[in-house]
Structure formats: structure tokens, C-alpha cells
Structure 1
Amino acid sequence: MGNPNPNLTHEDEKSLQDELLIPILLGDRVIKLAQGADSSKLDYSELANKVQLLCESLRSVLRLVTATPSVNLNDRPIRRIAADVTKNLERALALVRKCRKHGGVLRHVFSITSAADFRKVWNLLENSNGDMLWLLSVFDSKGTNLSLPPIASIDPILAWVWTYIYTLQLGQVRDRAEAATALGSIAVDNDRNKVIIMEQGGIVPLLKLLKEVASPEAQVEAANTLVIVATKQERVVRFIVDCLGVPTIVQVLGDTSASMRVRVAVANLVSTMAAQDDVAKEELVRANVHRPLVSLLSMDTVLPDPMLQGGRTSIHSLVLNLSSSGESSSHLVNSDGSGRGGSNRREREREREVENAGLRNEIKVSCAKALWKISIGCLLSCKKVTETKGLLCLAKIIESESGELQFNCLMAVMEIAAVAESNADLRRVAFKPNTTAAKAVLDQLLRVVREGSDPALQIPAIKSIGSLARNFSGNIPHILSPLVARLGNRDADVAIEAAIALGKFVCPDNYNRVDHSKAILERNGLPKLMTMLHLNDRAQMHGLKLLCYLALNVGNSKVLEDERALNTLEKLARPVLAQHPDLRELFAKAIHHLTLYQPGAQLHRQPLGL
């Protein structure tokens, strides 16, 4: 990818000086030739004056770049303008040389052409002078000059981006915050502008502004703009990672002295990055972003002292301990690397007391969403979340909260369970049935499935239980009953997810599949399943898979015969197989198995085929 840092290294600075020296030396040659002309002295003199002004501006920029190496000026506009100036000076040099060649009787022949060429070159030099004056004015005004240079007449967005980036680098904190907002406005709903901001060097100054602890407003604007620029732009997300932005993001998120508004914005940035790029997700996890996320999520948990509960450790006490330990560990080192004393902590506590309740809910919503996004398909993240008692925190919020916060927590649990489904170690450790965390999570998942009426909440709860199917023993009526009941749900998606989840309890990979199959039939699951088969094509496909598993596990059940399971399979198999030929072997085995237990079935059965 090359050097992702747009700030100048020593070699880059030298290269930039060379780029400025080239047009300066070229201009000096033009001036020398023009001043030595023995005809059309007025034209040559005017040309030399224009070039002289241009060279003075070039030298001013060169002095500025050389004198302020610590500022790390964005070099892209300088290089772009310097290249354009060089091209125009080369045309001026070619013109002067051509006119000086033709003297005597040929001079009149070239006079008309020369006059037109002079006018073209003068216009080009005027434009270059305008570009250089604009560049100097931007430096002089600390980036607050919003005029357009001639070079940007075709694409004014470029000049605005340049100006705002210089403001981010040179301006006062308030101006820098406004510049970040302006860049965000340019980038909203415009993917091209997002890429321009990245390519023109806007990411690093935004990350630097994010660390501006003296100005929460500036930090918020920087984070919000990074979210906008990174949204639907995997390249930008990867660029932020390559610019070493992840340590800054995690540091600000974990700074207990930071404003809640800042931490909301940074948590949103974590979600945006993790949702789009696996490399960014892994870097965030390695930087332990889950610690401040879980800590913030549990910050308002006020619970009884565990010592008053007869020595027993409850979910509430564990979440309280998590919250306390998270805050105490994160306040030890702040963004400036210094320790914080007790007085500062008391001051922060007083500030927290007056925080808007809505803002505190907003940070929890944002952190829950970030935990959800960093957990998707990431084993390391899921391990770290569960190792920090994150499951207990999520369970408590699912129990006590509602709306978007509850939904985000359910989605986080769903993704952790999905990873655990394919990783036996995580499944056994994080969701061990007799542990406090696993019990708390399972209780809340079952409660949502049983008592909930919102499909958006029920579906992730059902999926989570299905992912953990191999963790349960054979005698689990309290787990299977809510899932069986949802087979008859009026919402087709809920019914389908219930069928998928139950299928994981009775599939060939589940050791306790026979016991689970019997339990489903005992809880009147088959009539509900038969009704579900007629909801839509997707319901039919997943419903038939579940029916096949039941047939293979308990094919001798009288319930299957009474509900005409064999006839249903034979009738519906063909249209399903037309769309899902990979199920042919499963359907054939189930039909064959049922024929062994149903008298007379073999006499009337027709071969399965298309």
C-alpha cells in the first residue's frame, strides 16, 4: 500500500523542496532569456515580471516548508500546484526560445503567432500566480481562507478539502472543529468525496484532533467525520488502521476523563470500522477495545454488596465488580499518560451525576452495538468479551432494558453464540451450563422467546439458543418448549428461525438428537410444524429438513404416522429439491426410514425423483 502516513518524512520533505526548486530554477532561466531580448521588449518585460512574481511566491512557500518541519504540512496541494506551475513555466521557456530564434526577415512572419502565444502563456502564468497566492493566503489565514484557486476551477471540492485539511493542521482548536464538521458535510452521501479526503491527507489530522482532550467538541466532530468518511469505504477503514489510528481510538474510548459525547462518537467509529473490515476488527480486538466497551455498558449498575448475600456470588454482584474494575483500571493511565488522583476522580463523579440520562443511554447503545460488530465471526473477540464477564453484563441489560439497547445486546450474544457453535472450546468455556454467565444469558434468551412479541428481538434470541444446541443434555424441556411454541408463530420469520434452531437439536451432529426429537413430539411440535410448511417456500424448506431429522431419529413414532409425515414429505419434496438439490440424500433417507415403520407404505410409495 505504501506509506499510509501523509505527514512528511525527512526524505519526503527533501523531495518536496526539490519539487519547489525545479520551477524556481526554471523561472530564473525564463527571466534571464526574456530580459536579454532585443525586440518586443514590452512583451518580454511583462512576461519576465509575471515569472518574477511567481518565483517569489515559490520561494515563500519553500521557506515556509523548510522553516516549519514540525507542522507536518499536508504536501499534496503544494505538489499539485508546483507541478502545474512547472508545466506552465516550461511553456513560457519554449515560447521565449522560439521567438528569439526567428529574427530578420522571418520576424514579421512569426509576430502574429507570437502575440497569440504570448497571450496564452500570460494567462497560464496568471493562473499559476493565483494558485500560489491562494496557497500562501491559506497558510497565512491558518486555513480559514475559503476562496477557490484557479487550479480548482473544474473541481472546487478539491480546493475546499485542501483548505479544511490545512485548517485541521494550522488552525485554532475551534477552527479545527469547524473544519472537521465541514469535511463531514462534504463526505455525506458522496463516496467520491470520501476517497478524496483520504487521498488528500485528511485522515491523520482528524485522528490528531480526536486526541485533543482540551476540546471535547473538537473530539466529537473529528470522530463523527471519521465515521462519515469511513462508512461504506473499506479502503478508508484500512487506511485508518495503517495510520495507527486504532491505538488512538481505544485510548480515547477508555479515557474516563473524556466527555460522554466523545465516547459515544468513538464507540460509533468502532462499530463502523469493525463492520466493514476484518483487519480493522482484529486490530481493535488486539488493542483490547472490549474493555472500555464493557465497562461503559455496565456503568450504571448499582447493586447490593455481595457480602450481604450469604457469600453467594450473583449475576448482579459480578456485573457490579466488572463495572468497578473496568473503571479503576482505565482511570490509572489517561491520554496524557499521567495518573489521576482522588480529587480528579471525585470531580469526574460529580460531572457524571449531571450527565443527561439520555446521553448515558446513548453511550450504552453505542457500546452494545460496537460489541456486536466486533464479535461477528471473530473468535478472539468473543473470547475476550466472555473472559471479561461481558456475557453477564449483556444478560443483565437484556433483562432490565428495552428498545435499541436490548436489541444490540441480543445481537452481540447471538454473534458470540454463532462463533461458539463452530468452536467447541469457546462453547464449553463461555456457555458451560452450570456457570453463572451461561445461566444468566440462557434465562434471558428463553424469557425473550417465551414472553416477547417483537420478532426483531425474538429472532436473535432463537438463533442464539440454536447455536448452543450441542451444549445441552437430553432432558431439557424448559429449553425446547419455547422453541416448539414458536413453530406456530404468526410471524413467518420467527417460525422459520424456530425450525432452524430445533433442527440443530435433532441433526446428526447432535449426540442427544433422539431425546430432543422425542421431546419435540411430546410437546405437540409436529402439528405446528405441519402448519408451518405452508407459510412460504423458505418455511417449507427448513420445515422439511426438521421433519426429515425427526423421521430419522424417531421414525417409529405413532405421531408421525397420525400426522401423515410420509405423505407430506413425498408431496412437498419435489418442489423443494428443484431449488435445493443438495437435500436429495436427506429426503431420500427420511422417506425410506418412514416406510419401514408404516404398514402398507411401501406398496403405494413412488420413487423420489424429479
Structure 2
Amino acid sequence: MAAPENDEKNLHQELSLPILLADRVIKSAQEAESSKLDCADLAKQVDRLSQMLRSTVRIAATTQSLYERPVRRIVADVAKNLDRALTLVRKCKHSGVLRQVFSITTTADFRKVSNLLESSIGDMKWLLSVFESDGANLSLPPIASNDPILSWVWSYIATIQMGQLRDRVDAANSLVSLARDNDRNKKIIVDEGGLTPLLKLLKEGSSPDAQVAAANALFHIATDLERVRIIIDLMGISVVVSVLGDSPMRVQASVVKLVSEMAGLDPVAQEEFGRENVTRPLVSLLSMDTVLDDPKVQTGKPSIHNLVQINKELAVKGSNPNSRSSSFSSHYHSDGSSRGAHYRKERDREAESPEVKLELKVGCAEALWKLCKECLLNSRKVTETKGLICLAKIIETEVGELQLNCLMTVMEIAAVAESNPDLRRAAFKPTSPAAKAVLDQLLRVIQEESSQELQIPAIKAIGSLARTFPARETRIVGPLVARLGNGDVDVATEAAIALGKFVSTDNFNCVEHSKTIIEFDGVPSLMRLLRTTDRINERGHVNCLVLLCYLALHVGNSKALETARALNTLEGGARSVVAQNPDLRDLFAKSMHNLTLYQAGAHPHRQTYIP
């Protein structure tokens, strides 16, 4: 509490200085011995300013949450102008020859100072009207004549901080409009202290309209790393998570967009959201109206105790008026709040339109995607809950953006698991019901979906999990080999990249996976893809050559490689690829050497040139 008191004292000090200056100007004007009429006119203007300054002091003393930014800016400008007036009138205390010599200059100075004081009067009049009016004041004070946006931002922020509820909602929506226009407006809103009252409006829960307006304003402001960090420094993450956990659905739909935007821009925001456990309400909301008690994933093993508990709670849903839609929300709201409140929340949820529910689910899935990208903390939190089961179920039953966002979430979690053995073993153990459910849906998408947008993340996810599959897992490798011949080059290229992870020397089962690719007749498709990518896709061409290298290294005695003239292909591509990727030099050299040992017409002493 000490900091606000110090701030208030500093504001009073700032206000006392111009009041003191005004008194001195009036006294000096009364003592003037020359230009008495001009001094008297200035004194009248200064007296008006003095009254306005004293009114501002009274407002500051009686207003609990005063918006200080425009006060400090305008009062500082007023003090400068009063100081100039004081300097001028003090020159009029004495008369004489020198006074007559400089009379022309002095007259011009009086006009200039009078104009400055008139501007200060206009600024103070505007300031008082902002504090005394019920809504935003869109008139233009002289201090903002060259930048009207500044005065509008001041007015809107003052209304959000000090106004009536309806006016606060309108002002927040007005900030949304300004923030949409350009980054400069966003910067002005932040610089003038707009984030704190917006976070307060969001947290208060005065009305859903107010919370939606505040969340939308924050969403349109938090569009770069710097502004996201400012929100974090203002403890905005905890505010956002608390609102997400217990608000009407349309408020939650707005808040999840903010979570997604911040997480997508800043790794620090990802971690902070993770520490606040934001994945818990997100998965809870994503799973609403989704039945997760699939017999295929039921088991009594202790390792999935949480899943069993979820199924039990879902089984009694409906018989208990206070039951939650899932165990997730049950745990999340076990904070002492009343059962009646939960019942009202469930009733309100049932009353929401399907459009709002879908918007919320789509937003939750996108937020999870952005939160899990390259973030071990959030990826682990999702997998430690019923998150994977939920994602698998939605990928199976939904279509469009919701299905895609869930696929992207799985892809990002799998990418993190690829570089983290502990997460990979814990979350994607082949015998785990959750992992099996996810894997089934990834394979289904790869085999049955025709959309490139869906197939690519599914293929990438399978590739990231390559080291989790046993040696002869043909159910996984087969569909990927089939995609090598896909008419979409991007899909085929991703299949080649994924297969490359199966046969990489980092994979313990690389030899067996290589044999499986040969058995599924993958070499002809790979050679055709190589010819295609050579013309249009350099990245894809390199990855296809890498896959061919691994096959040559592990199953160099394959007849399929000999028939496809794999050695000639590697020799033809080695020079350009190794020149651009020196780290591949040893792989190409070993692969080509291995082929020379087996292929007819090739000799062990043959020297293959690699730059």
C-alpha cells in the first residue's frame, strides 16, 4: 500500500507547484508599475487557472482511483506557462528609459504568454470535463492539437478506470477500434497506462460485456513481444487464467484468444501460463460435451488411474444436478465455491448457442497448440491429464478448424517429446491407452484424409515419435511409405522426412525399419519423388537423398536399391548437397561405399568423389 500513497503524494506535489506559481503571478501583477493593463489581463487568466488547479486537487483527494497520466502531463505544461508569465510580470515592477526602449518586445511577449495561458485554460477545462463527465470526452484539448489520438486515449482510459460500467464498456470497445488501426495507437495506449485498467476491468467480472471488451482490447494490443512482456510484468497472466477458469463462455472465448496470442509471441508467456496451470481449464473446456469413456481406452491399471476416475464421474453425469461435465472442471473448481454456483454455471453453459461453444473449443485447441510449441512444461501438463484422450476424440469426431488445431497440438507435443526421452516414454508409451488413441487417429488421418492441411501435421507427429515404435511395426511405417507416392509433393516430402527419422542411425530399430520400407516397395516411390523434388523443392530433395542414404547404409544389399540405380543417384546428388550441407559428407560417403560392396558392376576399390 505504500507505493500508491507515495504516488498520490507526488501528484499533490506536482499540483502544488503551479498553484504556488499562480499566486506569485497574481501578486507580481498587482505590484506592476508598468504595463498594468496587460498584467491585469494576465492575472485574470492566471486566476482562472488557479481555480481549475484547486478543483483538480479536490478531485484527486476524493477520487479513489484517479487516472493520473493526463493530469501530470497537463499540469507540467501549465507550470511551464505560469513560470513564463511570472518572469514577464516581474519585469514590470520598475519603469524608466529601458522600459520604453523595450516596450515593443514586451507587448509581443504579453501576447505570446497570454496565448499560452489560454491554451493551458483549455487543457484544464478539458481535464476537468473528463473527470466530471459520465462518459468519454472526445473534444480536443490544445495540448493534443497535433495528436488527437492522445486525447482520445486519455479520455477512454480515464473512463475505464473511473467511469460507470456502461461507459467503461464503451470506452474499452473504443480502445479496440484504435488498437486495430495501427501499432502507433497500441503504443500510445500502453505508454499512457491503459493496460492496468483493462486488466482490472477483466478481473472484476462486473459484467460479461465488460470482460469481453477488456479481453478484446488486450488481444489487439498484445501483438508484439514488448507489449506481451509488459502485460506479464503487470501480473496479467494470473488475471487471465483466473478469468478463464470461472466466467461465462463468451468471456472465456475472448480470453482464450488472448492466451493464444500471447503464447504464440513469447516463450516467457508460455512458461508463465504453464506455471499458472492454464492447460487445466483449457482442456476442461475443450472436452465439454465430449464423451471420453471410450471402451477402447478403459483399463484398471494404476498408471491410468486418472482416466478411470474421469469415466466414473462421466457415468454419473446427469443423475447429480451439481455434476460437472468432466473431472477436469471438478478438480479445477474445488476451491470452496458453492455447489449452487457450479449448477448455475452448468445451466448457463447448456443455454449457450452451438456457435459460441464451437468458437470456445476452437480457441482452446489453438491456445493449447501455441502453448505446447517447443515448451516442455505445457506439453507435459497436457499429457499428464486427459488431454491426449480429448485431443484424439476430437480429431476423430470433428472437422474443420477444431480438428486441425487439435492435430497441431498433438504435433507440437510430439515434437517436444522427440527431444525429451522422459516425456516420450511417459506420454507415448505404445501400451498406453491415451497414446494408442492418438496414434490410431494420426494413422487414420494419414490414410483416409485427403487434405494436405491435415495430413502434414499427422505425418510430422508420427515422425517425431519414430523412436517409440518397435522394430517390426509395419502398421506405422506402411502408411508413411504409401504417402511417398502422394500426388502432393509437400505431403510426400513430409513422409520422406518422417521415414528418415525411422531409419536414422539415432533410431535403435533403424535396420528393421529400413527392411520394412523395402518390403513395402518404398524405393520406387522415393526415386520418383527425388526426380520431382530435384526440380521444385530443394529442401525436400535433400531429405529424400538423406532417406536414400540411410537405406543404402542399412540394407545396401537390397535388390530394390540396385534396380533403382541408387548409387548413381547418390553420386549425382552428393556434390551439390554436401557443398550446402557439410555435415552430411560422412553419411553420403559411407552410404555410397556400402552400395559399392553389393551392387553388380561396382567394385570395392571404386573411388567416389565427394567434395
TM-score, scaled to structure 1? 0.93
Matched residues in 1 for 2:539 and 2:300: separation?
51
Secondary structure of the 2:204 match is coil
Q: Report the CA distance between 1:18 and its aligned residue.
A: 1.2
Q: Which residue of 1 is the match for residue 11 of structure 2?
A: 16
Q: Call closer, same or farther: CA 1:146–1:517 in 2, change over 3 Å.
A: same
Q: Which residue of 2 is the match for residue 247 of structure 1?
A: 238
Q: Call closer, same or farther: CA 1:393–1:305 in 2, change over 3 Å.
A: closer
Question: Does the Cα contact within 8 Å between 1:466 and 1:504 map onto a contact in 2?
Answer: yes
Q: Aligned pair 1:577/2:566, yes or no?
A: no
CA offsets 1:435-462 (integer angstroms, 9 cap, x no match): 1001000000011011111111111101
Q: Aligned pair 1:261/2:250, yes or no?
A: yes
Q: Report the CA distance between 1:304 and its aligned residue.
A: 6.2
Q: Report the CA distance between 1:125 and its aligned residue.
A: 0.4
Matched residues in 2 for 1:310 and 1:281: separation?
33
Question: Does the Cα contact within 8 Å between 2:484 and 2:525 map onto a contact in 1?
Answer: yes
Q: Report the CA distance between 1:509 and its aligned residue.
A: 0.5
2:42 paired residue among 33, 44, 47? 47
Q: Aligned pair 1:217/2:214, yes or no?
A: no
Q: Which residue of 2 is the match for residue 458 of structure 1?
A: 455
1:107 paired residue among 73, 87, 99? 99
Question: Does the Cα contact within 8 Å between 2:238 and 2:276 map onto a contact in 1?
Answer: yes
Q: Aligned pair 1:234/2:225, yes or no?
A: yes
Q: Which residue of 1 is the match for residue 69 of structure 2?
A: 76
Secondary structure of the 2:102 match is helix
Secondary structure of the 1:489 match is coil
CA offsets 1:312-356 (integer angstroms, 9 cap, x no match): 9999977655852122233444xxxx62234x4443333333211
Alignment of 1:257-336 (within 5 A): 258-302=247-291, 321=313, 323-333=325-335
Q: Call closer, same or farther: CA 1:183–1:142 in 2, change over 3 Å.
A: same
Matched residues in 1 for 2:560 and 2:37: separation?
108
2:22 paired residue among 27, 42, 46? 27
Q: Aligned pair 1:590/2:585, yes or no?
A: no
2:403 paired residue among 401, 406, 415? 406
Q: Report the CA distance between 1:607 and its aligned residue.
A: 3.3
Secondary structure of the 2:27 match is helix
Letter matched to residue 120 of structure 1: K
Q: Report the CA distance between 1:175 and its aligned residue.
A: 0.9
Q: Which residue of 2 is the match for residue 163 of structure 1?
A: 155
Q: Which residue of 2 is the match for residue 418 of structure 1?
A: 415
Q: Call closer, same or farther: CA 1:310–1:161 in 2, change over 3 Å.
A: closer
Matched residues in 2 for 1:143 and 1:608: separation?
79
Secondary structure of the 1:84 match is helix
Matched residues in 1 for 2:610 and 2:300: separation?
65
Q: Which runs of 5+ in 1 are unaligned?
A: none
TM-score, scaled to structure 2? 0.93
Matched residues in 2 for 1:158 and 1:440: separation?
55
How many residues are treated as equivalent by the alignment? Answer: 594
Percent identical:
62
Secondary structure of the 1:534 match is helix
Q: Call closer, same or farther: CA 1:126–1:310 in 2, change over 3 Å.
A: closer
Matched residues in 1 for 2:481 and 2:298: separation?
37
Matched residues in 1 for 2:305 and 2:332: separation?
24
1:130 paired residue among 119, 122, 133? 122
Question: Does the Cα contact within 8 Å between 2:395 and 2:406 map onto a contact in 1?
Answer: yes
Q: Report the CA distance between 1:580 and its aligned residue.
A: 2.5
Matched residues in 2 for 1:277 and 1:92: separation?
51
Q: Report the CA distance between 1:538 and its aligned residue.
A: 2.1
Q: Which residue of 1 is the match for residue 427 of structure 2?
A: 430
1:146 paired residue among 138, 148, 166? 138
Question: Does the Cα contact within 8 Å between 2:248 and 2:345 map onto a contact in 1?
Answer: no
Letter matched to residue 78 of structure 1: V
> 156-165 vs 212-221, which deviates more?
212-221
Q: Call closer, same or farther: CA 1:234–1:142 in 2, change over 3 Å.
A: farther
Q: Report the CA distance between 1:241 and its aligned residue.
A: 1.0
Matched residues in 2 for 1:571 and 1:49: separation?
92
2:521 paired residue among 516, 520, 524? 524
Question: Does the Cα contact within 8 Å between 2:123 and 2:143 map onto a contact in 1?
Answer: yes
Matched residues in 1 for 2:522 and 2:242: separation?
52
Letter matched to residue 530 of structure 2: L
Letter matched to residue 485 of structure 1: A
Q: Report the CA distance between 1:244 and its aligned residue.
A: 1.0
Secondary structure of the 2:531 match is coil
Secondary structure of the 2:73 match is helix
> 189-198 vs 383-392, which deviates more?
189-198
Q: Call closer, same or farther: CA 1:314–1:488 in 2, change over 3 Å.
A: farther
Question: Does the Cα contact within 8 Å between 2:292 and 2:389 map onto a contact in 1?
Answer: no
Q: Aligned pair 1:60/2:55, yes or no?
A: yes
Alignment of 1:450-529 (within 5 A): 450-529=447-526
Question: Does the Cα contact within 8 Å between 1:143 and 1:170 map onto a contact in 2?
Answer: no
Secondary structure of the 2:100 match is helix
Letter matched to residue 199 of structure 1: D
Matched residues in 1 for 2:339 and 2:429: separation?
40
Q: Call closer, same or farther: CA 1:308–1:170 in 2, change over 3 Å.
A: closer
Question: Does the Cα contact within 8 Å between 2:67 and 2:162 map onto a contact in 1?
Answer: no
Q: Report the CA distance between 1:599 and its aligned residue.
A: 3.4
Letter matched to residue 329 of structure 1: H
Q: Report the CA distance between 1:428 and its aligned residue.
A: 0.2
Matched residues in 1 for 2:297 and 2:583: separation?
58
Q: Call closer, same or farther: CA 1:308–1:22 in 2, change over 3 Å.
A: closer
Q: Call closer, same or farther: CA 1:199–1:167 in 2, change over 3 Å.
A: same
Q: Which runs of 5+ in 2 are unaligned?
A: 315-324
Matched residues in 1 for 2:382 and 2:299: separation?
28
Matched residues in 2 for 1:517 and 1:184: separation?
56
Q: Call closer, same or farther: CA 1:304–1:293 in 2, change over 3 Å.
A: closer
Matched residues in 2 for 1:517 and 1:159: separation?
69
Question: Does the Cα contact within 8 Å between 2:159 and 2:171 map onto a contact in 1?
Answer: yes
Question: Does the Cα contact within 8 Å between 2:29 and 2:90 map onto a contact in 1?
Answer: no
Matched residues in 1 for 2:478 and 2:12: separation?
75
CA offsets 1:54-101 (integer angstroms, 9 cap, x no match): 121112112221232x32x22211111111111111211221233435
Alignment of 1:362-401 (within 5 A): 362-401=359-398
Letter matched to residue 159 of structure 2: T
Q: Call closer, same or farther: CA 1:308–1:132 in 2, change over 3 Å.
A: closer
Question: Does the Cα contact within 8 Å between 1:318 and 1:392 map onto a contact in 2?
Answer: no
Question: Does the Cα contact within 8 Å between 2:244 and 2:255 map onto a contact in 1?
Answer: yes
> 593-602 vs 376-385, which deviates more?
593-602
CA offsets 1:93-149 (integer angstroms, 9 cap, x no match): 221233435x21222211111111000000000001111111111000044221111
Matched residues in 1 for 2:416 and 2:374: separation?
6
Letter matched to residue 52 of structure 1: D
Letter matched to residue 53 of structure 2: L
Q: Call closer, same or farther: CA 1:227–1:8 in 2, change over 3 Å.
A: farther
Q: Report the CA distance between 1:302 and its aligned residue.
A: 3.7
Q: Which residue of 2 is the match for residue 339 of structure 1?
A: 337
Letter matched to residue 234 of structure 1: L
Q: Call closer, same or farther: CA 1:303–1:591 in 2, change over 3 Å.
A: closer
